[in-house]
Chains A and B, each alone.
Chain A
Amino acid sequence: MITKLFYYMQFPFVQYAVIVGVLIALCSSLLGVTLVLKRFSFIGDGLSHVAFGAIAIASVLKLSNNMLLVLPITIISAILLLRTGQNTKIKGDAAIAMISVGALAFGYLIMNLFSASSNLSGDVCTTLFGSTSILTLKPLDVWLSIGLSVVVITLFILFYNKIFAVTFDENFMRAAGSNAQGYNLLIAVIIAVIIVLAMNLVGSLLISALVIFPALSAMRLFRSFKSVTIFSAILSVVCALTGILTSILAGTPVGSTIVAVDVIAFGVCCLVSAVCRRQA
């Protein structure tokens, strides 16, 4: 099995997949804790559906690199979603449900009406569940992913303390005179970037899993923000690697394999936490 793995690892497309997979897993886990704690878990879900709609448009327009269209659209939606969450007639969760289902429907409609592809349901399935697209990455995609990941990780480290403060107590921060609104916006933009990145790996339906499972697992075991964040990053990378390698060896779809590993890891963390509590 090991020799088989080494044999596969010689191919550049497998190397690309592993590099990009690990980076995406790392990025997506970073903000998971914030999203879960701010009760924003569903924003990831909504945005991924928006990204699906954007990809449909991009593929109809036959853009050579659809990230150029998908990224701005997703970022704008993220900002709009955060805005609506605060002070409109439609409450945050309802707005997200509306936008996500709407984008999903229009995306599929556009693909259906205009697509020249002979394998429409295959295309849709790929976009929704990621399937093999990570194994068909071109060097440009890889560099784009690396670049965006570096930006996300740098921003996260630089604003770590502010993200903590705005997650724990937004009102306190605003009362102290800090620009909480600005940091919320920053969080929204980072999430949008992560989602667009992660679409390559697990497809738009499974992204939320990548964002929230590591955070939820870490929250079972650790009790400070820093340790939760670090552990969820490590866990996410380990799960992604395990998932990618398993899928290469077993020939299973990449995205769903990674998510399955994440779910198992969550189960293990729950078990460990229950055992620890019983002993304590």
Chain B
Amino acid sequence: MSFIEAKNLSVGYEKEVVAENISFAVEEGDYLCVVGENGSGKSTLMKTLLRLQKPLAGEIRIGAEGKGKEIGYLPQQTVVQKDFPASVKEIVLSGFQKKCGLRPFYNKEEKREAEVNMERMGISELQNRCYRDLSGGQQQRVLLARALCAAGDLLLLDEPVSGLDPRVTADMYELIESLNKEGITIIMVSHDIGAAIRYASHILHIGETIFFGTKEEYLESPEGKYFLARQKESREEKTDHSGSEYSA
């Protein structure tokens, strides 16, 4: 049974449909990349997956046989967080909030698991530092460690590399890939099609037409070819040095 299954899903705000007829399935261990242009409904779909919003039509099922029920979410940073006085440890521990239920404090086991997750993200030395003093890449690692505390087997990453410089971006992708190799299912929302093609196992393209399939199928599909060509064009026009070249 798959982790997440969506059938003819329509997402949007109130009565306005942003994207419709989305069908896809995520199996355990998959690395799904959700791509599409701005305004195509990527983030609306993500909010629906996170249960922050109800689907307008269709079905969505999350979790299977006691696994994947919780989604570890890596959100984009908010303005509030930019100058939030909190230590790294406090933030990582807050990932356990759901598991705590009404229990007021974190127990020893959770504290140990938080240590482990900070170790995995390579931020153990930073644990008493203030979040707002960290670099963008370090902050992302902190939030990723928190997501791991919230859910051990399914992560949803919202533009995990936006605002990071090329080197840190590459590090971040490596880190996510290593988590995936450990068996964690990854869903990444991104407009970085190059990275999607390099790292993902499956692609969900949202736009005028919806595509869902493996990366190989995507590269052969009209959506994939068109989107890649468009991206390449705009990339050449800009000739920026943002580092992520396409391996397609």
Q: Which residues of A contact B (CB under 8 A)?
A: 33, 37-39, 157-162, 164-165, 168-169, 171-178, 219, 222-226, 228
Task: Kindly list chain B residues whose C-beta atoms are within 8 Å of the C-beta of A178.
Answer: 97-98
6 extra interchain contacts, Cβ-Cβ under 8 A, other than A39-B80, A161-B93, A175-B52?
A: A158-B104, A161-B104, A162-B97, A165-B94, A172-B146, A224-B85
Nearest residue in B to A166 (C-beta to C-beta)? B97
Encoded as 1 (CB less than 8 Å from any A CB) or 0, chain B from 73 to 105 comes to 101001011001111001101110110100011
B90–A224 touching, CB < 8 Å = yes
What's the nearest-Cβ distance from chain B to residue A33, in Å?
8
B51–A175 touching, CB < 8 Å = yes
B70 contacts partner chain A, Cβ-Cβ < 8 Å: yes
Known: A37-B80, A161-B106, A168-B81. A176 touches B98 (CB 8 A): yes
B97–A228 touching, CB < 8 Å = no
The 9 closest A-B pairs by CB, nearest first: A223-B130, A224-B87, A175-B50, A176-B98, A175-B73, A165-B94, A225-B86, A158-B104, A165-B97
A164–B94 touching, CB < 8 Å = yes
B119 contacts partner chain A, Cβ-Cβ < 8 Å: no
B118 contacts partner chain A, Cβ-Cβ < 8 Å: no
Q: Which residues of B contact A (CB under 8 A)?
A: 50-52, 70-73, 75, 78, 80-81, 84-87, 90-91, 93-95, 97-98, 100, 104-106, 128-130, 132-133, 146-147, 150-151, 156
User: Which of B86, B151, B156 contacts A168, CB < 8 Å?
Assistant: B86
Q: Measured between alpha carbons, how far is A223 from B93 in the docked complex, in Å?
A: 16
B85–A225 touching, CB < 8 Å = yes
A161–B75 touching, CB < 8 Å = no
B52–A164 touching, CB < 8 Å = no
B87–A176 touching, CB < 8 Å = no
Task: Kindly list chain B residues whose C-beta atoms are within 8 Å of the C-beta of A158.
Answer: 104
Nearest residue in A to B76 (C-beta to C-beta)? A171
Nearest residue in B to A222 (C-beta to C-beta)? B85
B104–A157 touching, CB < 8 Å = yes
A223–B71 touching, CB < 8 Å = no
B85–A172 touching, CB < 8 Å = no
A225–B75 touching, CB < 8 Å = no
**Mind listing 28 A-B residue pairs with CB under 8 Å?**
A37-B80, A157-B104, A160-B104, A161-B104, A162-B97, A164-B86, A165-B94, A168-B80, A168-B84, A168-B91, A169-B75, A169-B78, A169-B94, A172-B146, A174-B52, A176-B72, A176-B150, A178-B98, A219-B85, A222-B85, A223-B85, A223-B130, A223-B132, A224-B128, A225-B86, A225-B90, A226-B87, A228-B85
What's the nearest-Cβ distance from chain B to residue A93, in Å?
15
